[in-house]
């Protein structure tokens, strides 16, 4: 009887151990969730389903064998203030990292860069409170806003990245400039007719530069 009891107990323990191992493996197998907080550039404005930034970035990560899931939290027309107002509910308990790509609509509306900077800082404060690594994606202001505006706008991204120790991509459109250092005026073939949003080929080029930075972001979660 003792041997039977021991065997039964041992058998139950073995099953319990296997169940624990299985559950642990299942948890470990969960992909890293990266929330892409942005505006129409992130949302994929004007592009067919599957051709926007997030699905193209997801495909790039999959091809590289990066175990991550990118959540599209891009809202067309959003300013940095709009992003701040919804960042809390854009994140979930499963969120592991965040891409912050905001400021384009602030730029189009000529919003004071001081206000934009404060909003971005508040978003980064929320990420820091959740211990989420961040990739901050900047933009470059055109010169027609004036030298003072341009300097304040362009520099706020680098300053905030340094202050909050984020990963940093200085310009969302860097992928359109990498060959020959071209200006945006020279890359119309990669833009939609509005001259603001990239077309499908433009997105591919943007992802070719953004993708490796996101891979680094995923590595920061491990």
Which residue in 95, 134, 144, 136 sits closest to 116, CA to CA? 136
Active-site residue, 197 included: yes
Say if residues 85 and 119 touch (Cβ distance below 8 Å).
Answer: no
The residues near 81 (Cβ < 8 Å, ≥ 6 apart) are 115, 119
Active-site residue, 92 included: no
Exposure string for 136-156, b = 16+ CB within 10 A, e = fewer: bbbbbbeeeeeeebbebbbeb
CA distance to 173, 181, 206, per residue, from 176 (Å): 5, 9, 6
Catalytic residue among 40, 90, 116, 161: 40
Active-site residue, 40 included: yes
CA–CA dist 205, 117 (Å, integer): 27
Catalytic residue among 96, 106, 116, 197: 197
Indicate which residues carry an active-site annotation: 40, 194, 197
């Amino acid at each position: 009887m003792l041997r039977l009891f021991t065997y039964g107990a041992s058998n139950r323990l073995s099953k319990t151990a296997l169940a624990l191992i299985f559950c642990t493996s299942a948890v470990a197998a969960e992909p890293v969730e990266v929330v892409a907080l942005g505006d129409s550039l992130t949302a994929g404005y004007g592009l067919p389903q599957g051709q926007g930034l997030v699905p193209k970035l997801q495909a790039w990560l999959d091809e590289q064998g990066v175990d991550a899931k990118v959540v599209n939290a891009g809202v067309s027309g959003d300013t940095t203030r709009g992003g701040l107002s919804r960042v809390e509910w854009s994140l979930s308990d499963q969120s592991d990292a965040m891409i912050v790509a905001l400021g384009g609509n602030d730029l189009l509306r000529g919003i004071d860069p001081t206000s934009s900077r404060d909003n971005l800082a508040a978003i980064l404060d929320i990420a820091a409170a959740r211990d989420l690594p961040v990739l901050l994606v900047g933009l470059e202001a055109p010169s027609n806003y004036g030298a003072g505006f341009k300097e304040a706008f362009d520099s706020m991204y680098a300053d905030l990245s340094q202050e909050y120790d984020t990963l940093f991509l200085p310009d969302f459109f860097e992928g359109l400039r990498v060959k020959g250092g071209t200006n945006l005026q020279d890359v119309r073939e990669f833009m939609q007719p509005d001259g603001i949003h990239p077309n499908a080929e433009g997105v591919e080029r943007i992802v070719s530069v953004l993708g490796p930075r996101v891979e680094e972001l995923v590595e920061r979660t491990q």
